[in-house]
Chains A and B, each alone.
Chain A
Amino acid sequence: MNDDEFDEMLREQHRLFTADISRAVESRPVPVHLPKRYRVSGVLSAMLGRLQPEWRVSGLRTGAALAASGLTVLAIAFLPAQPGDPSVRPEVGAHSPVGTHPGAHGCPCAGTPGPAKFSFPVLFRPDSAELTPQARELVIGAVRRIRPGDRIVVVGHTARIGDAGSARAFSVRRAQAVADLLVSLGIAEDRVTVRGAGFDQSPPGDDVRSRRVEVDVVAPD
């Protein structure tokens, strides 16, 4: 690929980028400069005159939205939940074999004894398995809550990009980075289990929360 082709390829990506930004901001009003003498009168006339009909419409819309949300709350409160309803979250351990960890985030923590005492996510930058300073602080803060004997299950995740095999390997690298920090902070290495889930448990699309490591702290047997 010569320089011109390379430039054209990057410019094409840039054009797609600006077109996406344009779509995101197209509904905004055009910002204009108002001289000081017009600002007060402009605001007053907008309040008292031109916008009144729109206010009525928006008032009706707001009222309808409030009524609908009130009805929804009543329905949730008084209607019995259906057994097959996916929105109903099972109690921890209710549908899992006795003595195994069901996975607080739906992650594959099978075989880990007991339910998680607490869990937390650690976020990563795109295409990086290095901990950011904020992520490091988060882990350091969480270590104080870990008791002697607790087991820690560290499961890495990636965004839904690339093939599943390399994503899984990369997710293990992310999990290992967190595990290494835990060990350096005094957690015994044999208490830490490292796993990589690839993008199996990641939300659809390119979600920033996909690039994470879930840390589950599990009580001893």
Chain B
Amino acid sequence: MTGKQSSARASYEDFYRSHSPRVIAHLLYLGFPRHIADDATQSAMVDVHRNWHKIGKPHLWARKAAEHHAGRVWRKTRNEVPWPDAYDRPVAEDPEIAYVVERHSRLVSLVNELPESLKTVFALHLDDFGTKEISEYTGVSVRVVQKRLKQARELLQSRFVGDGRWEGNR
């Protein structure tokens, strides 16, 4: 391995470590099941590695690729895999991921419940993306992004109880 290749590999590894959890979270916010979100992120990261030198913005590219993979798997399997049942989980699912998602299920379900047009915008906003980047990702104007963010915020605020707490996940 040459010096250039090894530095590219190191920068890809840094990218993977910092971004793969955020891509998994992004897919979960969009409503994909846990095991699909996990697998699609891995596939997207392999694609990122393959195209590492060609991609200008890997953080956006990885999310787009992951959405593509997850959508494809979801369309194939949506009629086969039932809603996750604690007594009969899909074998491929990582139990640690399942536990984490269950612990943060309130946040995930709140974003899931947003209308489709607001979900992606707000998921990216949560992940510290600016309105310009969100506009580039979604293909709508900055003004529309700002409007959608405002709508999403209003919807979420209506579910907010106060004192930094949501109504509990009983």
Contacts and interface: CB of A to CB of B under 8 A. Distances in A.
Contact of B46 (A26, A31, A206): A31
Contact of A26 (B17, B85, B167): B17
B42 interface: yes
Contacts of B85: 123, 134
B169 A161 contact: yes
Contacts of B104: 13, 16-17, 20
A24 B96 contact: yes
Interface string B1-32: 00000000100110011001110110000000
Contacts of A211: 170
Interface centre among A21, A32, A33 (most CB of B within 10 A): A21
Contacts of B125: 7
Interface string B37-79: 0000010011101100000000000000000000000000000
A14 B127 contact: yes
Nearest to A121: B87
B140 interface: no
A19 to B, nearest CB: 8
Contacts of B100: 17, 20-21, 23-24
Nearest to A22: B21
27 contacts: A3-B153, A6-B160, A7-B125, A7-B153, A9-B164, A10-B107, A11-B126, A14-B126, A14-B127, A17-B100, A20-B100, A24-B96, A25-B20, A30-B13, A121-B87, A127-B167, A132-B83, A134-B82, A134-B83, A134-B85, A161-B168, A161-B169, A162-B170, A166-B170, A206-B102, A206-B103, A206-B169
Using C-beta atoms within 8 Å of the partner chain, give the interface range for chain A: 35 or more
B138 interface: no
Interface of A: 1, 3, 6-7, 9-11, 13-14, 16-26, 30-33, 121, 123, 126-127, 132-134, 158-159, 161-162, 166-167, 170, 206-209, 211
A21 B25 contact: yes
A11 B9 CA distance: 30
Nearest to B16: A30
Given A13-B107, A159-B169, A161-B169, A33 B25 contact: no
A126 B167 CA distance: 11
Contact of B47 (A14, A33, A123, A159): A33
Contacts of A166: 170
